[in-house]
Structure 1
Amino acid sequence: MEAIQRLASESRQKVVGNLKALHSGEETIYSGCVINCGAGHCVLKVRRKNGKITAIEPDDHYNRGVGREDAVLTDTDLIKNRLQLRGCPMAWAFHKLPTSPDRILYPLKRVAGSKRMEGRYERISWDEALDLVASKMEEMVDKYGPYSITTAYQPSPALERLFALWGAGIEGWGWCSKDPGRLTMHL
């Protein structure tokens, strides 16, 4: 029995040592998840080392170390959104996208005459891409009206302002729980 306990203790110490080594020299920042899921757009605690993300964890600004928040939350806490926002598996995996070899780095346009899902694209300049998107948006507004363009599940103050000036639609008005940029401003 002593041998098993010693082995378990050594294993635990090794795991803890490896985790400490992995996280030494890291900086912790808070960020918002905007994966376009339509849920709460969670606040995330991000660990970074040498410019690369090493870990993504739940926001622990509120109720740190509490397993069940419902045991400690008051009505005021709920109204003021003082609870941990915990990301979904998409949030935990999102940090792999910027370094993925499959990531698209430049604007692409479907080759003339090709059909959707054929995978035939040509690289275009950023100016050409912006002009193309702007002309298509103007075409949609002229054809279907200003509310044919909207920001679905993507709260962005810049887009909200642009669309308001244009007379187009936006998903919602004002400060809401789906706005991680504003939720993290105090951190």
Structure 2
Amino acid sequence: MAGRRIPADRLNELRTFAAKGSTRVAREIGALVAEIDALAAENAGLRQGAEARRKSCPLGPLDLVVLAGVVNGENLIETAERIGARYEQVKSRRRAIYRRIGARGASHAAAIAVHNRWAKPADGAALGAPERTDDEALRASLVASPGEWALVKESNSRSSAGQLARNIRAGRGPWGPPYTYDAEARTVHGQPQVYARYVPAARRAADKRGD
């Protein structure tokens, strides 16, 4: 039966038979027992190595789940959806993971994880597969939920938060064309923050006609 273990006393009996016997059957049994011993030693080594890697890993269970997403090229939104967390939570946890394992970024973290066998690419996934940048992922999230406000950034000051909100509304940098996104600066628990939402094309056209 597959996966059935041979009792140790039975293996000892076979070893004794093979050592005392001189027939072809005894030699074949001896070779089979030697192969079983080699496989057992290999499995023991693998178990010890896995346990050592587990003990040396500085990450918790949820960190490893997030790190697996990095290895498989998930962006922040995809990981958040998979584990049922918010975008900001995953973004913060990823940064903490990178710091704890000494990674410079996503590709470096993926390489460290695979080298230490903390995570492995899923079938058909390429290690370090290109993922969308945080800004690209955020814009995709806004587009997927038109009209819903989402946190874009926490700023150091109200003035910088206000400037970023104006840049988003004006379509500067990656936020173009103009008026694709609405944005505003808010202060939450004393922390300046910038929130944005995607404005569908039909609404933009209606707003223009209203002007």
- TM-score (normalizing by structure 2): 0.24
Q: Report the structure number with the largest CA radius of gyration.
A: 2
Question: Larger helix proportion, structure 1 or 2?
Answer: 2
